[in-house]
Chains A and B, each alone.
Chain A
Amino acid sequence: MLQINHLIRRYYNRAAVDDVTLTLDSGKTYALLGPNGSGKTTLMKMIAGLVKPTSGEILLDNEPIGVRSKANIAYMPTENYFYSYMTIRDVGRYYADFFSDFSLEQYNASLTRMDLEPKDKIRQLSSGMAAKLRLALTLSRDAELMMFDEPLNGVDILTRQQVVDEILRCRETGRTMLLSTHLVDELEPSIDCAIYMLHGKIALMGDRDLLAERGTLTELYLKIYGTEGIDHVQAIKG
């Protein structure tokens, strides 16, 4: 479904994504894990077409990332990305205008579930409300590939549970999902496959069932990015 071949993204002397090759299969939920600066967001943005690779290729259904792929990829950035003049209703209408797979009914239903008022202005939203809005927008699309960058970032515990429930609901539809998160334990039940990134490279990747032999995703996370670091990665791979 999504094929990434020898993908590199350099910023001057630093490689944010360093020779990444991976395949995402249809219908699975992938966790993209790693500390700040490991390349997760850059990788997602390249798949979404917002960042151009230095070299390498990304193919969605054997076609390079471009106009057509943007119609089939739903990306939820971690930042707020709305125009300041907009209301919550305006954002929904914007998405409905540009994405044929966007459902206004589903969007309005999500807003109700998340206690968001359509008439509220974007600039008046708290970080938690903005996070819920970003999620409502992305989940209201019926895209082939759904990407969520830090969906639990900046939200309180109650909201976090709402977000997890929404993602689990989305998972049941059988879409391919790529989730980037620091809060591994909260989303672990919904993960099929984990991708650990370190310094722009894939340190470890595998199905959750196979990796479970070495520990939970959270335990692996601590081992890979803790003091044992890359040596432990080698041990796991070995």
Chain B
Amino acid sequence: MFRLLKVEFRKARGAMLALCGITSALEIYFLAALHGEWEEHLAIAAFLLVISGFAAAMFVFIRGITSYSRELNSTSGYLLFMTPNSSLKIMSSKYLYTFLNGVVFMVLLGGLAFLDFELLMAHYVETGNTIKGLMAMLRMQGVYIDQFLYAALFIIVYIFLMLLSVVAIAYFSITLSHTLFRDRKWRWLPSLLLFIALYYGIQKLNGAFPSALGKLSIIGNNMFSGEMSDAEVVAEVSDALWQVVIPSLLPPAGVSLGVILASLFGCSALLEKKVSL
């Protein structure tokens, strides 16, 4: 598995280096604007960094899909499928690569965001002190920033799982289309239609689970009624996150995991028995 992962990372090396280069350039722009106290440029740099972070995340997942499609449709697939590895192992390495690549980028970009935030707080002392004061006040009210961080982490993992499940649906659509329409130039069309149909079906399934919106609207009404202090509002938000939002995300997260596993085993079975290069 490690060797297969090595191949996947090596294939993507050029693209990942390009992404790192773009992010580094934007970070240099940000740091220069911070040092020179060019507030307009600082705002632009921060905005571009956020956009590039999302774009990088999308790129990682989209690239996983296009790379797999290219492998099935070109002779470079021989190199992988001639090796004495089962289709399950090959597909697992692709899923694992996409997951690990996403995690690495998330950690790097998250770390960068944290460092930039710390630099901003250190540079804008008054604002930094205000935020620290607010956090101290919240701690006195029994609200810890950790709760928000853990909730944010859960939501990020949930979004990650959703994105991975989209990749899984794409892998399955590509594999099934290649199985049925191997020699047809228009096989991309049934692949796309199948992807849309499966994605729509899964969203419909997720829609059948109880929504958090009803409970959140009641909480929101209480919060904005003017009868609660700021600290009580923050505490209410924290409770809402852990008692309403996160539990409502668990069933769709389970569906995403199920989709990923079904796609993994489905693609492996098709590749083992049916797919020809």
| A binding-site residues for B, Cβ under 8 Å | 11-12, 45, 48-52, 67-68, 70-71, 75, 77, 79-85, 94, 97-99
Given A85-B10, A94-B79, A11 and B85 touching (CB < 8 A)? no
Taking residues whose C-beta sits less than 8 angstroms from the other chain, chain B's interface range is 20 to 34
Min CB distance A91 to B, Å, is 8
B273 and A99: CB pair below 8 A? no
Given A50-B81, A70-B83, A75-B82, A94 and B7 touching (CB < 8 A)? yes
- Give the CA-CA distance A125 to B274 in the complex, in Å: 33
B35 sits at the interface (CB 8 A): no
With a cutoff of 8 Å between Cβ atoms, the chain B residues found around residue A71 in the complex are 84
- Give the CA-CA distance A70 to B80 in the complex, in Å: 11
- Give the CA-CA distance A81 to B80 in the complex, in Å: 10
- Give the CA-CA distance A85 to B75 in the complex, in Å: 14
Choose one: A67, A81, A84; the contact of B78 (CB below 8 Å): A81
Quick one: CB contact mask for B1-20 with A, threshold 8 Å, 1 for yes? 00100110011011000000
3 nearest A-B pairs in the assembled complex, by CB-CB distance: A71-B84, A81-B78, A51-B276
B243 sits at the interface (CB 8 A): no
B84 and A77: CB pair below 8 A? no
With a cutoff of 8 Å between Cβ atoms, the chain B residues found around residue A85 in the complex are 10-11, 13-14
Choose one: A51, A77, A80, A98; the contact of B83 (CB below 8 Å): A98
Choose one: A52, A70, A79; the contact of B275 (CB below 8 Å): A52
- Give the CA-CA distance A67 to B77 in the complex, in Å: 16
B277 sits at the interface (CB 8 A): yes
B86 sits at the interface (CB 8 A): yes
Given A85-B14, A97-B3, A97-B6, A50 and B82 touching (CB < 8 A)? yes
With a cutoff of 8 Å between Cβ atoms, the chain B residues found around residue A98 in the complex are 3, 83-85
Which of B14, B78, B84 neighbours the largest number of chain A CB atoms within 10 Å of its CB?
Answer: B84
With a cutoff of 8 Å between Cβ atoms, the chain B residues found around residue A49 in the complex are 81-82
- Give the CA-CA distance A84 to B6 in the complex, in Å: 16
Min CB distance B250 to A, Å, is 37
With a cutoff of 8 Å between Cβ atoms, the chain A residues found around residue B14 in the complex are 85
Min CB distance A154 to B, Å, is 14
Q: Which residue of B lies closest to A50 (CB)?
A: B277
B76 sits at the interface (CB 8 A): yes
- Give the CA-CA distance A70 to B78 in the complex, in Å: 12
Min CB distance B113 to A, Å, is 31
Choose one: A51, A70, A80, A82; the contact of B277 (CB below 8 Å): A51
With a cutoff of 8 Å between Cβ atoms, the chain B residues found around residue A45 in the complex are 276-277
A11 and B277: CB pair below 8 A? no
Min CB distance B63 to A, Å, is 14
With a cutoff of 8 Å between Cβ atoms, the chain B residues found around residue A94 in the complex are 7, 79
B81 and A83: CB pair below 8 A? no
A83 and B78: CB pair below 8 A? no
With a cutoff of 8 Å between Cβ atoms, the chain B residues found around residue A79 in the complex are 75, 78
Choose one: B75, B182, B276; the contact of A77 (CB below 8 Å): B75
- Give the CA-CA distance A50 to B81 in the complex, in Å: 7
Choose one: B7, B13, B183, B274; the contact of A52 (CB below 8 Å): B274
In residues 83-128 of chain B, which contact A (Cβ within 8 Å)? 83-86
Choose one: A67, A70, A82; the contact of B76 (CB below 8 Å): A82
